[in-house]
Amino acid sequence: METERLVIKFGGVSLKDYKRLKNTAEIIKKNNDKELVVVISAIGESTNELIKSANKALNGNIDYKSIKDIHIIICEKLNVDFNKLTILFNELENSLLKIKKSGEIKPMDTDLIMSYGERLSIIVLSEYLNNIGINAKSVNSWELGFITNSNFLNAEILPESSELIKDNLNELLSKKIIPIITGFIAKDKLGNITTLGRGGSDLSASYIASSINANKVVLWKDVDGILSSNPKLIDNTVKLDEISFREASEMAFFGAEILHPQSLFPVIGKNISVEIRNFLKHENKGTMIVDKLKENNLNKIKAISYRKDVTMVQIRSNRMLGNFGFLSKVFKVFNDLEISVDMIATSEVSISLTLDESHDIEKLKENLNDFAIVKVSNNNSIVSLIGNTQKSTKIFKHAFEILNEFKIDVKMVSYGASNVNICFIVKSIELEKTVNVLHVGLIESEGLTC
Ligand code: ASP
Ligand code: MG
């Protein structure tokens, strides 16, 4: 049998003190029989602290003591030679001095400053692993070939990276070396350091997994996995054992803050599963995100997500009937104002849609008033039932019986765009009640088999 290829990623909370770093090393050791690639974030809150240091430098104050101290303590406790980090701390100081001198922080500067977090953490972990007899090597992502565009703070990985990453990692793996790789950071074609957006090490890990054709990505986090709803709103949420990529993507969109929004794209459709596991309870199973669900997970509503604070806009054509091109006129306005739309429902002469409350609604109204009558309603929320929604009639029946029983009015419905969700709009003051009663009725106890 071929050796399993595994990419594992540890976030900042898994590295925040020496005990957790030992735990991280323990997990790595346990998986040492596999072809293992490790991606890590910065230690603890380093990224936030580095941003603070940059702001202090702008005000003339060079202070990165909190970051240095945490690294000193960890090195001491783990018997890692702190001198291995000296060059990077000197570089950090120089970068901060540059900000102080120039009196400005450009996005490119922020990326450079943030990069020190991951560049430091890979050295600490790989040195410690070497101390305990594990053959690990710290690797900056750009040494593997992570190349991005120059969209600082939120850069996109360029497709040519994949081949380079594959070749470089295959070489390390064939020598039985465990690479400890910086998540989150990369370089553009000119050699400037870039970042993939906050929380971006999930994306680094899945991109690597897709490049080397790994069997699985494990993201170690401080949560049990993906839950059936937001525990801040619902008492009896359940941890989902298994969820499909499409279901997970819908959840990410609706604000399940567990994953970097783009992190699933590289592995979808490639037979690479993504597992989210709790670092603090590492014997427990987490949530598996897969291309193909097991039979017993196929026919269920699995989760209820929501999005608060949406505005509903009703747009009715002011010419009497079927105005040819009405839809395209409406969308041209949205396009010109760069407003993105979430939900849509249409009839012959009118269209209802929802947007984020943050958009400039007055401007939108002004532009639409030329050819339409516009009605705006605020303080709404989108509720989304996520799972297999192909047997929609049955789901609608159950859901609407519950909503009727609790006298909750639905203002708009959307179904048909995908087979994994049904969305509707309720007033925000009814949101908590809505999600609760639906969660009890469709997910808790037996749940609804559809
Ligand atoms: N260290 C980075 C951040 O805090 C990247 C990550 O944690 O994934 O955003
Ligand atoms: Mg982090």
Q: Are residues 67 and 194 in the same domain?
A: yes
Please report the pLDDT score of residue 327 as a whole number: 87
Q: Concatenated DSSP letters for 325-394?
A: THHHHHHHHHHHTT-----EEE-SSEEEEEEETTS-HHHHHHHHTTTEEEEEEEEEEEEEEEE--SSHHH
Which tokens sit at 399? 């859901």
Flag whether pLDDT at 254 surpasses 60: no
Q: Are residues 211 and 325 in the same domain?
A: no
Give whole-number Cα distances, 27 to 32, 79, 134, 139, in Å.
9, 19, 12, 19
Amino acid at the residue 339 = I
- pLDDT tier at 4 (50, 70, 90 boundaries)? very high
3-state secondary structure (DSSP) of residue 181? strand
Please report the pLDDT score of residue 232 as a whole number: 87
Q: What is the mean pLDDT of residues 167-188?
A: 98
Across the chain, mean pLDDT equals 93
Please report the pLDDT score of residue 319 as a whole number: 74
Residue ending a domain, among 205, 221, 237, is 221
pLDDT, tens digit (0-9, with 9 covering 90-100), for 139-162:
999 999 999 999 999 999 999 999
Identify whether 280 is part of a domain: no
Identify whether 124 is part of a domain: yes
At which residue do the structure tokens 């909190």 appear?
A: 66
Please report the pLDDT score of residue 322 as a whole number: 58
Amino acid at the residue 306 = Y
- Beta pairing, strands 273-278 & 344-346: unpaired
Q: Measured from the CB, is residue 266 less than 6 Å from ligand 1?
A: no
Flag whether pLDDT at 247 surpasses 60: yes
pLDDT, tens digit (0-9, with 9 covering 90-100), for 303-349:
999 999 899 999 998 875 555 688 888 999 999 999 989 899 988 78
Flag whether pLDDT at 448 surpasses 80: no
Flag whether pLDDT at 95 surpasses 90: yes
- pLDDT tier at 299 (50, 70, 90 boundaries)? confident
Q: Are residues 53 and 173 in the same domain?
A: yes
At which residue do the structure tokens 């090490």 appear?
A: 201
Please report the pLDDT score of residue 262 as a whole number: 84
Q: Are residues 404 and 306 in the same domain?
A: yes
Q: Are residues 217 and 305 in the same domain?
A: no
User: Rounded to the nearest 5°, which phi and psi values hold at 295?
Assistant: -45, -50
Q: How far apart are CA 29 and CA 119, in angstroms?
A: 22
Percent of the chain scored above 90 by pLDDT?
80
Q: Measured from the CB, is residue 387 less than 6 Å from ligand 1?
A: no
Please report the pLDDT score of residue 222 as a whole number: 85
Flag whether pLDDT at 169 surpasses 70: yes
Closest protein CA for atom 5 of ligand 1? 199
Identify whether 259 is part of a domain: no
- Beta pairing, strands 136-139 & 178-182: parallel
CA 173 to chain CA centroid, Å, is: 28
Identify whether 262 is part of a domain: no
User: Which residue intervals of 103-193 are DSSP H helices?
Assistant: 107-131, 141-144, 161-174
Q: Measured from the CB, is residue 44 less than 6 Å from ligand 1?
A: no
- pLDDT tier at 1 (50, 70, 90 boundaries)? low
Q: Are residues 58 and 176 in the same domain?
A: yes
Q: Are residues 332 and 185 in the same domain?
A: no
Q: Which CATH number is 410's domain given? A: 3.30.2130.10
- Which residues span the domain enclosing 65? 5-221
Q: Are residues 67 and 197 in the same domain?
A: yes
Identify whether 375 is part of a domain: yes
Percent of the chain scored above 70 by pLDDT?
96
Closest protein CA for atom 6 of ligand 1? 199
Most informative mutation of 51, 115, 198, 219 for ligand 1 (most atoms within 8 A of CB): 198
Supply the pTM of this predicted model. Answer: 0.88
Residue ending a domain, among 193, 221, 249, is 221
Flag whether pLDDT at 408 surpasses 70: yes
Q: What is the mean pLDDT of residues 408-412?
A: 97
Most informative mutation of 51, 154, 201 for ligand 1 (most atoms within 8 A of CB): 201
Q: How far apart are CA 353 and CA 38, in angstroms?
A: 44
Rg of the chain over CA atoms, in angstroms? 25
Q: How far apart are CA 180 and CA 36, in angstroms?
A: 10
Please report the pLDDT score of residue 323 as a whole number: 59
Identify whether 226 is part of a domain: no
Q: Measured from the CB, is residue 184 less than 6 Å from ligand 1?
A: yes
Output the CA 46–ligand 1 centroid distance in Å: 9
Output the CA 4–ligand 1 centroid distance in Å: 27
Ligand 1 atom showing the smallest separation from residue 197 Cα: 9
Q: Measured from the CB, is residue 12 less than 6 Å from ligand 1?
A: yes
Please report the pLDDT score of residue 277 as a whole number: 93
Helix axes 201-211, 161-174, angle to 10 degrees: 80
Q: Are residues 23 and 128 in the same domain?
A: yes
Closest protein CA for atom 7 of ligand 1? 199
- Looking at the structure of the chain, the number of domains it has is 2
Identify whether 209 is part of a domain: yes
Q: How far apart are CA 427 and CA 231, in angstroms?
A: 20
Q: Which CATH number is 217's domain given? A: 3.40.1160.10
Q: What is the mean pLDDT of residues 162-175?
A: 98
- DSSP conformation class of 15: G
Ligand 2 (single-atom ion) residues, CB below 5 Å: 12, 41, 47
Residue 405 neighbours by CB distance under 10 Å: 10
Q: How far apart are CA 275 and CA 245, in angstroms?
A: 11
Output the CA 41–ligand 1 centroid distance in Å: 5
| Long-range pairs for 52-61: beta carbons < 8 A, 24 or more residues apart | 53/92, 53/96, 53/113, 54/96, 54/99, 54/105, 54/109, 54/110, 54/113, 55/105, 57/96, 57/97, 57/99, 57/100, 58/99, 58/100, 58/103, 58/104, 58/105, 60/100, 61/100
Flag whether pLDDT at 226 surpasses 80: yes
| Sheet of strand 185-188, all strands in order from the earlier edge strand to the far edge | 147-148, 185-188, 193-195
Q: How far apart are CA 433 and CA 427, in angstroms?
A: 11
Please report the pLDDT score of residue 320 as a whole number: 56
Flag whether pLDDT at 256 surpasses 70: no
Identify whether 326 is part of a domain: yes
Residue ending a domain, among 221, 247, 277, is 221
Which residue has better confidence, 347 or 66? 66
pLDDT, tens digit (0-9, with 9 covering 90-100), for 180-219:
999 999 999 999 999 999 999 999 999 999 999 999 999 9
